[in-house]
Structure 1
Amino acid sequence: MPIATLGVTVLDCPDPRALAAFYAAVLDWRRDDAQSDEDWEELVGPEGGRLAFQRSEGYRPPKWPGTQQPQQFHLDLNVPGDRMDAAEAEVLRLGATLLQDDDGGKRAFRVYADPAGHPFCLCAQ
């Protein structure tokens, strides 16, 4: 029996609503109005997974790949391998920034920063 189960994953950011809108579009998850306010936005996935965004005054984005302002964690988002280019175009259109490409297909992932600067990966599946 586990000691605990994972509830919600929370990202600090300067603008919870804007970052929630980015991830809602990327993941096609819905906003949970009952759990959202000006300092907290929460998304719900189709299988009940939750991702939340918390306002953090003085937020400083991670500087990937350095350690002066470390990423601390990142999200791996799975994409069908034949859709990587289309997925990349969409996340860039939504406000992501490419940090590291897949080195001409030598790696099965590409690294991006979301609009608040958190690194995340699109991983070919």
Structure 2
Amino acid sequence: MLYGANASRFHWGFVGTPLNFARGEWQIARVYALLGRSEPALYHAEKSLALCIKNELGDFDLGFAYEAMARAYAVQENKIEFDKHMQLAKQTAKKVTIEDNQKWLLKNIETVQTNTIPVF
């Protein structure tokens, strides 16, 4: 998983857009969180968040960036930052206008505390 996520991000770095970069960083953050490695998870979540904000990528991707931040802080057992980013993720999810996208984001947010992957 980790090699695949890093390879994907590496290749998007040549042909992608900021949206691809942000999603690639999110994907790497997710894998590190699932592996219980909070420091690299937080590093890549922060990169995803910065790309979303700088490039105004929209609420769907911004919500996922906040979800990645919350997940990394959950692994780190930093309750204050976890709560802050969970709240931001939930608030941002409410702004997503495409219903299926909103549901998918919320489903992912619901799995943060258990550090699992949602199933369709």
Do both share a fold (TM > 0.5)?
no
User: Which of the two has greater strand per residue?
Assistant: 1
Task: Please indicate the TM-score interval, normalised by the length of the shorter structure.
Answer: under 0.3
User: Which of the two has greater helix per residue?
Assistant: 2
Using the size of structure 1 for normalisation, the TM-score is 0.26
Q: Which has the larger radius of gyration?
A: 1
